[in-house]
Amino acid sequence: MKIESLQDLFETELRLAYDCEQKLVKKGLPTMMEASTSPDLRKAFQDHLQQTRQHITRLDQAFAAIGKNPDTQDNDVFDEMAKGAEKKAKAIESPSLRDAALIACANQVEHYEIAVYGSLVAFAQQIGLSNAATSLQQTLQEEKEADAKLTQLAETSINSRATQLRAA
């Protein structure tokens, strides 16, 4: 798609976000849930999976606001992060160390999503899509909260368990 206006850029970024969220629902979050051993981490991934389904619904609404059918555009940035996470998880035998790595990888994805949704909110506001901006702002807030929850898990329990491996 040729990008010639802010609305075109908004649509392109919507497609990238849609691709990311679809892949997280279909494979990313279920894979991380399966690979994690911490019940708290598994629950955090499960909770975020439910939120991510709502993110897709909000993206559907944003597409409707611009009169476009929801569609994806291959998101190479997300794909590379997902490949890296999968490779890292397979390379780590220690369950507690793998949990720490899963959090680091998930935080990377959250930070990417925060950047994308922050731009989408700004674009939607600029082109007069106030309902879409409000909805996307809600998703942005949820992505920030997911990132904070993962960081808290890492700092309060997961990383200390992984650190104990060195001492053993």
pLDDT digits (tens, 9 = 90+) for 83-118: 998 899 889 999 999 999 999 999 999 999 999 999
Across 31-38, average pLDDT:
94
| The pLDDT of residue 168 is above 60 | no
pLDDT value at residue 101: 96
Rg of the chain on CA atoms, in Å: 17
CA distance 133 to 163: 42
Q: pLDDT above 90 covers what percent of the chain? A: 89
For residue 5, give the DSSP letter: S
pLDDT value at residue 164: 81
pLDDT value at residue 110: 97
Instruction: Kindly indicate the confidence band of residue 123, based on its pLDDT and cuts at 50, 70 and 90.
Output: very high
CA distance 110 to 117: 10
For residue 129, give the DSSP letter: -
Provide the sign of the torsion angle of the four alpha carbons 57, 63, 64, 65, taken in this order: positive
Classify residue 74 as exposed, middle or buried by CB count within 10 Å of its CB (0-12, 13-18, 19+). exposed
| The pLDDT of residue 72 is above 90 | no
pLDDT value at residue 22: 96
Residue ranges in 66-158 assigned as alpha helix (H): 76-91, 95-126, 130-153
Question: What residues does each domain of the chain span?
Answer: 6-163
Across 36-52, average pLDDT:
96
pLDDT value at residue 10: 97
pLDDT value at residue 165: 65
| The pLDDT of residue 40 is above 90 | yes
pLDDT value at residue 166: 61
**Structural domain 6-163, CATH architecture:** Up-down Bundle (1.20)
Across 19-34, average pLDDT:
95
